[in-house]
Amino acid sequence: MALNGSLKDFGLLQLLTLVQVTGKTGALTLQRGNEIATVYFEGGRLTKVKSPGSSSTSLGVALHRAGRIDRDQLELIGSQVSSSEKAAALLLTDLGVLSRDDIMDFVKERTLADLYGLLTWPDGTFRLDVDVSPPEDDIVTPIELAPVLEKGRGYLDEWNLLTSYIPSLDRSLRLLSEPRQPAQEVSLQLSEWRLVVSLAADIPLRDVAQKLGLNEFAVRQVAYRLIDAGLAEISEPVAVALPEPVQEAVEVPEPKGGGFARLFGRRWG
């Protein structure tokens, strides 16, 4: 029998704790509006996460965005295999592009990143089904939940900090021509540098995240690092001047000495 409920009453960390303690095998489906995510587990261990972002992104595209393969290798994968993760991984190992360990480590990183992104859902619904497995073509990486839960709590603390500085992704991030403080050394990964380059387009951070395949946490994290280093600032929302309402002149008759007229003059009725 499935367990249903609201994330406001029973958060994802609590649900994962339940999975760990009971050692269950199954799938936890989360829904927030039109967004649907599924977390798979086996014997109380995390095995796979299908988030709204990762579900529409193939393994090859994800590897390319992370700088693990180049565009030629990505096109080679796309022309020879379908969206199957296992087929793409097999081709990459046969070609000597990546080792099996390289691919498994990347899938694990992606699984954890997707899971931590789901921790930021403040509301929505959940459904817990037992004895449900991921699609056969997906690569699974069994992960112990105890350290994941511990890191997840720290992740939420950092998320609260980031959202206090960057409450909305509808604003853009502007690089400063002159740092506001002595320049600090800032080390960026490839995906983070792509975000910096995208800032030149002066588009909202939400669009940058979608373009680069980053979740809201990752975008806020890089933006905060640049702000904290004095290299950028969040643009202020543009105030739209609304036209003054046009009021039609209303002819008011002269008061004729009634009680209301004597008290309120012309402005009564």
Residues 238-266 pLDDT 10s: 444 455 555 554 454 444 444 433 333 44
Query: What pTM was computed for the model?
Result: 0.71
Mean pLDDT of the chain: 82
Token reading at 179:
């740092």
Q: pLDDT at residue 197 above 90?
A: no
pLDDT in tens, 111-136: 999 999 899 888 999 999 999 999 99
Domain ranges of the chain: 3-164, 167-234
Give which of 155, 73, 147 is closest to 113, Cα–Cα. Answer: 155
